Chain A
Amino acid sequence: MRRADGETLLLWTLPVVAAIWLAAFLLFPGFVSPMSPTMSAEEVAAFYRDPENLPRIRYSMILFNWFAVGLIPILALLVLQIRRMAHRTPIFSYALIACAAGGPTVFLMANLFWLTAAFRPTRDPQMTLLFNDLAWMTFSSQVGFLIAQSVILALAIHLDRQERPVFARWVAHFNLVVAALLLPAAFAGAALTGPFAWDGLLTFWVRNIAIGLWIVVMAVVLRRAIERQRAEDEAVAA
């Protein structure tokens, strides 16, 4: 019997955290049908002042504030799998650690702007509009670390040249597709309407669905890789 190293426990935090994210996403009144960037300062202020909306904005963003960093343990498990790959240097595992630090920090900035807007909704509507713009723009356009994460994983998997690679080739290709789907969101500032706007098809729906899909697929392949690693370790020990 191998000693419990806690990796399975960390992996199983993901479904719990993901359920909380989904609940917070549905709770925030500005996500299910995303707020339009064409709303005037008065309309944005009214959105935050609405007694139906205000508690939902606060509670959903408090949930995100608590659990936004919940993906970091999963990224740490991916770092450990990269370390098992047949590489000559630890550059890819280092790079994924750097992404794990950057990504959630960016999301937390957006979270702070939303919460600050909701803290005093009676403020001058121009101020509420500014906080709302900063929140949405940070949330929408900051895809750099997510793209890097996928590209680093794809490179690492491609260069893992051993008889039984840690992840199958298709996982690398899948990561490149996800990186491409995230790309248009960087242009969120370019238009207030249409597919690139922060409530548009590419920037909101394609990007967020791609992130969700990445989490599910990577969790499944990660679980398989950890189980295989265990079986191999036990075979060696026996």
Chain B
Amino acid sequence: MTGALLRKIAWHWRHDEKRELWIGWWTLVVFYNLYGLLFFAVARTQPPPQPSLGHAEIVEWFAARHHGLIYGYAVVFIVGGATAIMNATLAYTMRRMSVSRAFAYSYLVIYALATLPGMLIMGVACTVGAMRPDRDPELMSWLYDFAFLSFEGTMGVFLIGSLVWMLAVLLDENRVFPKWFAYLNLCNALTEVVVAPAWIFKSGAFAWDGTIAWWINMVVFVTYTAVFLTLLRRLILREDFGTGPLPDLAR
């Protein structure tokens, strides 16, 4: 079984014209699964805790997941750079469209920056919090706020990034993605708008753990990710390495 799989991979590595695209696609699939596992099951920083915890409760929060934070985020730090190849692959979808290369380049640079607030800053803050459980509780509370606000509250990169992709899909004449995907990009962009009150409210629907700022955001993001992974796979299957409209998926 393993042997057959390895032989299959070796064949694609040697002969598949689309191997660069498949490397990108598999990196996306493996990364998003690992990312979910690390944040939800290992570090247990998602779903997020309440912003209103007192200092003593925050110290307890760090203590309760000490190893999870340290080892979970260590793995995040190792694989974090994989986002470069993922964003390069998504930027390629825009390069394949009939639109200007400016769209692909904008998306690439915006999402390269997104890696910092999207996970690395939170990882450093959580690691520093976990490494010294006896740190002044007031500073532990600052690390806690810094971690969750940087993660939940950095909106612009995802907002503008999604809008760039939306515009590219709408303008494209090469049939790279169906037009309805543009509106899903708009949905993802709008969740970044409604998350803004997380900077103001410490409890309720608008707080960083609230129904609006977190739950709706997460449902839309997971749907969006699952959809673009499916569409990207179909795109790779349809890819003819030309510059004109893509053919339909062969039956």
Contacts and interface: CB of A to CB of B under 8 A. Distances in A.
A144 B120 contact: yes
Interface stretch (A10-18, A52-60, A97-105, A210-218): A97-105
Contacts of A97: 88, 108-109, 112
A204 to B, nearest CB: 16
B11 interface: no
A20 interface: no
Most chain B C-beta atoms within 10 Å of own C-beta, residue among A37, A90, A91: A91
B136 A96 contact: no
A231 interface: no
A111 interface: no
Give the secondary structure class of B's interface: helix
B-side interface size class: 35 or more
Given A133-B132, A189-B73, A88 B18 contact: yes
B229 interface: no
29 contacts: A37-B131, A89-B20, A89-B21, A91-B23, A91-B88, A91-B89, A94-B92, A95-B85, A95-B87, A97-B108, A98-B84, A98-B109, A98-B111, A126-B139, A130-B128, A130-B139, A133-B132, A142-B124, A144-B76, A144-B77, A144-B78, A149-B81, A151-B81, A183-B78, A187-B74, A189-B69, A189-B70, A189-B73, A189-B74
Interface of B: 17-21, 23-24, 69-71, 73-85, 87-89, 91-92, 95, 104, 108-109, 111-113, 115-116, 120-121, 123-125, 127-128, 130-132, 135-136, 139, 142-143, 241
Interface of A: 37, 87-92, 94-99, 101-102, 105-106, 109, 126-127, 129-130, 133-134, 137-138, 141-149, 151-152, 155, 159, 183, 186-190, 192
